[in-house]
Structure 1
Amino acid sequence: MFDQEARLERLLTRHPDAAVVEPAPGRYALVRRDQLLVAEHDVPAAQDLVRRWYDSHHDEHGVTSLRLRARAKVDVCELAAGLTGGGRHRRLSVSPNHLVHGQPMWWSGPADLPRPAPPVPAPRATAPGRREVTVAVLDTGLSPHPWYEHAPWYAEQREEAAEVLDADLDFELDAQAGHGTFIAGVLLRYAPTARLRAHRVIGGDGVGDELGVIRALGRVAAEGGADVVNLSIGCHTFDDRPSPLVARAIAALGRRTVVVACAGNAAGDRPFWPAALKPVIAVAALGPDGADRAWFSNYGWWVDACAPGVDVASSFVRFDGPRPRAGGVDPDLFEGYATWSGTSFAAPAVAGRIAGLAAGEGIGAAEAADRLLDPAARRTLPDLGMIVTG
């Protein structure tokens, strides 16, 4: 508990506009203070209803961020519930701007920090793909790595998609820096010919917000879409319902795009969004034996699949921290490879298999997902969905 509280205190210090909300005991969520997200077509009605507290707004990719005056001290969750009607049927598409966070590190789980690892053999395609498959990775960004730094798609990455390794300048690797680079390696293990497109939506501390995710999804759509989108990020919401704005942004990608998201690492069945959305493939983590749930993994009716998520080895950043050598080992010297645990790394194993099957067979990603997750061909586990291994 102390470690959880210490991490939360550090987060709130680093993000002073964030607030913890607890509408029900033990059911936490994090939101940006004084911010409401509103669908474009609902902006006039919402602005009229909040005019007493309204300060400014910003429009982008079909969503508007309404900023309220701080001194009004408005409870944005209570306000959002009132604007939407509070019942099962929402009148307006309005939501607080929830913070999203990368997994693995959060409240009750899990499990570990990345650990330096010896070099891992680079992914190799056994045959040329029958079609080019694009995978969008919304995460911490991407650092150069021998596995892909000479690939044409990497040369096309925008500078703003680069990883930031030590944003607070304390000479230590930020808690989740390298998360996106690690995920890219997992994807390429199963889809070596895939074309990756990185979008940085969380920082090296593993924190971003729904507005950033919506903007990135809008850019994916504007750039022609993607076959597969990997979201190893997410959050709990104040009312345990999905953000209608995130749901709309995912729906705007179209049915030919497959979205895969991690189920989260709180070791519970509380829905984790956007993984729990119906159109999204939610992926839990299997333990070391690949036969049952990893202790940290979320589970529940909303989980669709599970894949290995403990001590996964993949590409990583290069970084040498300040800790001294002990027993002949430098504990914070990373030379491009690491092992890490979390549902974050089970999700790209499923996304990569879908992309690899689509590329190898020359089929659409949706058809590849249907084949991979065919209940007649794979065993299922209660509250974990289909087992995706091998």
Structure 2
Amino acid sequence: MTTPDPGGDARFWAQLDMVNAALPAGLRAVAGPEGAAPGSAVEPAYAELDGHVLVRAQDLERAGNMVADLPGEADPRVVWPPEDDAGRVSVRRLYVGDRGARLVADTLGGQRVPATPVHLVSVAGVNLCPGDEPVPSSGPVLPAPGPRDAGAGVRVTVLDTGLVPGYLDHPWLAAGSGDPAIPAVEGDVTDEVADGVIGPYTGHGTFVAGVLRSTAPAADVRVHRTFPYAGAVPEDELGLAIRDALATHGWPDIVSLSAGTRSRDAAALLGLADFMAELTLHPETVLVAAAGNDGGTDPFWPAAYAAEPVNASGDLVVSVGALREDGQGRACFSNHGGWVTVYAPGERLVNAFASGTYTYGYPHSTSCRHSDTPLYAGCTCVAAAKAGDTATFTGLAQWSGTSFATPIVAGLIAARMSEAGISSRQAAAELVSGRLSVPDLSGYLR
């Protein structure tokens, strides 16, 4: 996949700067694959932690010995997980320096011993469509396609950036008036709006929760802050954070995850191996994951687990691509391929957001980044806003992305569960097989 103007891969580098400003001291994200740099011929495909590799615990000594004698490099050392968690995870993050990281990954990987970069998983992916930043809206909000009690008794965990203060001012996120079947959305209120300024990715988790509750108004939704670094997190930390969240609050019927990454050699994320293994032990839980906004066919993890042997039954992982606003095909930004199992509306949805002033931080263009001309009338990638432009939001936004197609699918599964009295896996199987259809919502998306 090529990425023409604006500015080549300018959006990737702008996002990488934001992630690095948010990462803890001592950690730095760099572009992968090797050779990706501003202005280079190598297209950046993902971000990874500089000088670190991820290996399985049984390969730790071997990996360390390989780089121990490299001149000019620090002694290899384990820097993650914390000692108290070491017995709970099967992987280790090893600091080996820049050359050591390349040597370990190349050599161990070439010998089929799992060793990978530590990828950054993000709610944004890396190469975003110029039209995917939120814009102010006054509605209408995506309506519930079914009855008010759709999703009653179904528990959904949303893994995202958290909730904005005051999110319960939106009635579809609050508890139903006198109706015990409609609980309030709960979770981590962490998306602060400092001095009236909305930061990048602030409101993402609130918007996702709003779309989900618009599709399944009575679902019991809990939002966790699992992407604390400008909407990103290292893959190994994410794997443990997911398991901690689910252990604390119980494994739900549905996990909705609007985040992911491409990876070195298109390999599955080693940092999520423990979570995926545990997911197979919970037949009550389905993972619904966004397919990503790169406009290509490269696997985007964890959504791409939908095409892996772990999902042989077809109902453990549902990967979600985005339809364009008129419903007549795939949205220009949506990833696609055999690993994407379903598509749902994902252009210009309207839902709950923060209030305040937002400054657009990415280069924009009047052409589609996947083509010199728009791929279709109203292509989301065509946006007039320029970096530095500001907008004022009053609690609602219009937004596009597979991030927001994903909670539609999660909500449809929840609604079908309550309607038919079936499990999440059964409802997911109906959706994937076509027995449960995605409703036409095109008239409500602007």
TM range (shorter): 0.7 to 0.9
Residues 112 and 268 of structure 1: CA distance in aligned 2, closer, same or farther (over 3 Å): same
Distance 1:131 1:164, change over 3 A: closer
TM-score (ref. length: structure 1): 0.81
Extract unaligned runs of 5+ from structure 2: 1-5, 36-41, 69-74, 177-181, 312-316, 361-388, 442-446
Alignment of 1:34-45 (within 5 A): 34-38=51-55, 42-45=56-59
CA distance in 2, matches of 1:239, 1:115: 35
Give deviations 1:164-194, integer Å, cap 9, x for gaps. Answer: 345xx79642221100000000100111111
Q: 1:213–1:241: structure 2 CA closer, same or farther, 3 Å change rule?
A: same
2:210–2:351 contact (8 Å) kept in structure 1: yes
| Kept in 2: contact 1:137–1:198 (CA 8 A) | yes
Q: Give the match for residue 129 of structure 2.
A: 109
Counterpart secondary structure, 2:49? strand
1:270 and 2:303 equivalent? no
Q: 1:318 maps to what in 2?
A: 355
User: Once the 2 structures are TM-superposed, how far is the Cα of residue 18 of structure 1 from its aligned partner?
Assistant: 0.7
Change (3 A) 1:388 1:273: farther
Query: Separation in 1 of the partners of 2:331 and 2:150?
Result: 33
* Deviation string, structure 1 residues 73-94 (Cα, Å, up to 9, x no partner): 34535423433x426xx444x4
Please give the alpha-carbon distance, in whole angstroms, between the structure 1 residues aligned to 2:151 and 2:260: 33
Deviation at 1:239, TM superposition (A): 1.5
Among residues 141, 144, 161, which one is paired with 2:162 in the alignment?
141
Structure 1 residue 321: Cα displacement: 4.8
1:118 alignment counterpart: 138
Q: Write the letter of the residue equivalent to 1:62.
A: V
Query: Does the C-alpha gap of structure 1 residues 116 and 127 become closer, same or farther in structure 2, counting only changes over 3 Å?
Result: closer
CA contact (8 A) 2:54 2:270 kept: no
Task: Look up the match of 1:19.
Answer: 30
Equivalent-residue separation in structure 1 for 2:186 and 2:330 (angstroms): 38
Asked if 2 retains the 8 angstrom alpha-carbon contact of 1:191 and 1:352, the reply is yes
Of 61, 76, 81, 1:58 maps to: 81
More divergent stretch after superposition (117-126 vs 177-186): 117-126
CA distance in 1 between partners of 2:20 and 2:245 (Å): 32
Distance 1:68 1:377 in 2: 48
Which one of the candidate residues 155, 164, 175 is aligned to 2:191? Answer: 164
- Confirm or deny: 8 A CA contact 1:164 1:203 kept in the other structure: no
Provide closer, same or farther for how the CA distance between residues 170 and 77 of structure 1 changes in structure 2, counting only shifts above 3 A: farther
The 3 A distance-change label for structure 1 pair 331 and 34 is closer
Shift, 1:373, TM fit: 2.3
| Contact persistence 1:77–1:238 (CA under 8 A) | no
Q: Which amino acid aligns with 1:187?
A: L
Q: Is the 8 A contact 1:191 1:356 kept in 2?
A: yes
What is the CA–CA distance in structure 2 between the aligned matches of 1:131 and 1:267, rounded to whole Å? 35
From 98, 101, 107, give the equivalent of 1:82.
Answer: 107
1:360 counterpart = 2:419: yes
Query: 1:194 and 2:219 equivalent?
Result: yes
Contact between 1:54 and 1:66, CA under 8 Å: does it hold in 2? no
Mapped to 2, the partners of 1:189 and 1:240 lie a distance apart of: 34
Cα distance change on mapping 1:232 and 1:292 into 2, 3 Å: same
Which amino acid in 1 is paired with 2:399? W
User: Structure 2 counterpart of 1:95, which letter?
Assistant: T
Counterpart among 345, 364, 371 of residue 308 in structure 1: 345
Instruction: Give the counterpart letter for 2:226 in structure 1.
Output: V
Alignment of 1:192-341 (within 5 A): 192-203=217-228, 205-222=230-247, 223-253=249-279, 254-278=282-306, 279=311, 280-321=317-358, 332-341=391-400
For residues 250 and 271 of structure 1, do their structure 2 counterparts lie closer, same or farther at Cα, with a shift above 3 Å needed? same
CA distance in 1, matches of 2:46, 2:76: 24
Answer yes or no: is the 8 Å Cα contact 1:128–1:193 preserved in 2: yes
| Equivalent of 1:374 in 433, 437, 440 | 433
SS in 2 for 1:351: helix
- Which ranges of structure 1 fall in alignment gaps of 5 or more residues? 324-329, 379-386
Q: Distance in 2 between matches of 1:320 and 1:6?
A: 23
Question: Could you tell me how far 1:267 is from its partner in structure 2?
Answer: 1.1
Deviation at 1:377, TM superposition (A): 6.4
Q: Is the 8 A contact 1:163 1:177 kept in 2?
A: no
Which SS does the other structure have where 1:182 is aligned? helix
Distance 1:266 1:314 in 2: 23
Alpha-carbon distance in 1 for matches of 2:286, 2:64: 37
**2:46 aligned with 1:29:** yes
CA drift of 1:277 comes to 0.8
**Structure-2 separation of matches of 1:155 and 1:356:** 16
Task: Report the CA distance between 1:108 and its aligned residue.
Answer: 4.6
Contact 1:316-1:336 at 8 Å conserved across structures: yes
Which residue in 2 is equivalent to 1:381? none
Q: Does the alignment pair 1:49 with 2:30?
A: no
Deviations 1:276-329 (A, max 9, x none): 113321111111210101111111111111111111011112224589xxxxxx
Q: 132-141 or 195-204, which moves further after superposition?
A: 195-204
TM-score (norm 2): 0.72
Please give the alpha-carbon distance, in whole angstroms, between the structure 2 residues aligned to 1:373 and 1:266. Answer: 23
Change (3 A) 1:347 1:17: same
Q: For this pair of structures, how many residues does the alignment match?
A: 361
The whole-number CA distance in structure 2 between the counterparts of 1:101 and 1:309 is 18
Contact 1:283–1:307 (CA under 8 A) maintained in structure 2: yes
Give the AA of the match of 1:364.
S
